[in-house]
Each structure stands twice: as structure tokens, then as C-alpha cells.
Amino acid sequence: MKNIIDEQALVQRAMQARSRAYAPYSNYTVGAAVLSEDGTIFDGCNIENATYPATVCAERVAIFKAVSEGRRQLQAIALVTENGGSPCGICRQVMREFAPELVVLIADSTGDYRRTTLAELLPDSFGPEDLLDA
């Protein structure tokens, strides 16, 4: 069952999560909030590491929290950065795994946001069906 997406509320949750970012190396703090189809919102922040590649993006933290709590049907994600930056390629691929029709809200630190979709951000994508059909 799809929810009516309260976009402002989702962006607000992402803003709150951003305040918990651990980003001492880049100082680029990111917050994310993902709406699952039962209406539950899971949030996340980026968590950096002294071994840089061990860093995890905010979007993946939020999505993995949802999945690890049993929610694989994801409807929308909001992310907030200082400058309204777009989600990285690895996060787009993780979104693709669980939510090819995901709505993506990309916000800056004032809360202004633009709405796009994963299909726009990751066209002609590779996904689970490609393996399962093989």
C-alpha cells in the first residue's frame, strides 16, 4: 500500500539525522530519511572512518536500517546536504536493489528541495532481475 508522501516531514527527518553525521574528515555532513511502504521512516547520517573507504553514506545507513528491520518496500528518500548535492553512484545502486520506483527528494540546508526519481538518476540500470533471469 502506498502512502501519501509528506515530503516536508521526510526532509525534516533527514535534516535532524544530518545533525548526527560523523564527518570529521570531509566536514560534508549528510542526512537521509527513507519512507517504507508501511509508513515507517528510517533515518541515517554519513559515518566516516579514519580508513576513508570504510565510510558509509547517509542514504545507505537509512536504507540498511530499513531493510534490517524487515522493510524492503521503500517509497521515497530525502537527503539533505549543505548545498543540495545529489546522491552518489553507490547509493543509487543500493536504492535500485530495493526500490526501482523510488521518489528522491534532494534538499539543501535551508530545506529547499527538488523532487526526482531513481529512474531519472540511474537510467538503464542493472538490478536483481538481471541475475534472477540469468
43 or 59: CB nearest ligand THU = 59
Query: Cβ of residue 107: shortest distance to ligand THU, in angstroms?
Result: 12
Q: What track of x and - describes contact with ligand THU for positions 41 through 70 (by CB under 6 A)?
A: -----x-x------x-xxx-----------
Q: Does 87 bind ligand THU (CB under 6 A)?
A: yes
3 vs 19 by CB, closer to ligand THU: 19
What is the nearest approach in angstroms of ligand THU to the Cβ of residue 61? 8
The nearest distance, CB 57 to ligand THU, in angstroms, is 3
The full DSSP string for the chain is -PPPP-HHHHHHHHHHHHTT-B-TTT----EEEEEETTS-EEEEE-B--SSGGG-B-HHHHHHHHHHHTT---EEEEEEE-SS-PPPPHHHHHHHHHH-TT-EEEEE-TTS-EEEEEHHHHS-S---HHHHHT-
CB nearer to ligand THU: pick between 75 and 87: 87
Q: Does residue 106 belong to the site contacting ligand THU (CB under 6 A)?
A: no
Q: Smallest Cα–Cα separation from 97: which of 59, 134, 69?
A: 59
Question: Which residues contact ligand THU (rule: CB under 6 A)?
Answer: 23, 26, 28, 30, 46, 48, 55, 57-59, 87-88, 91
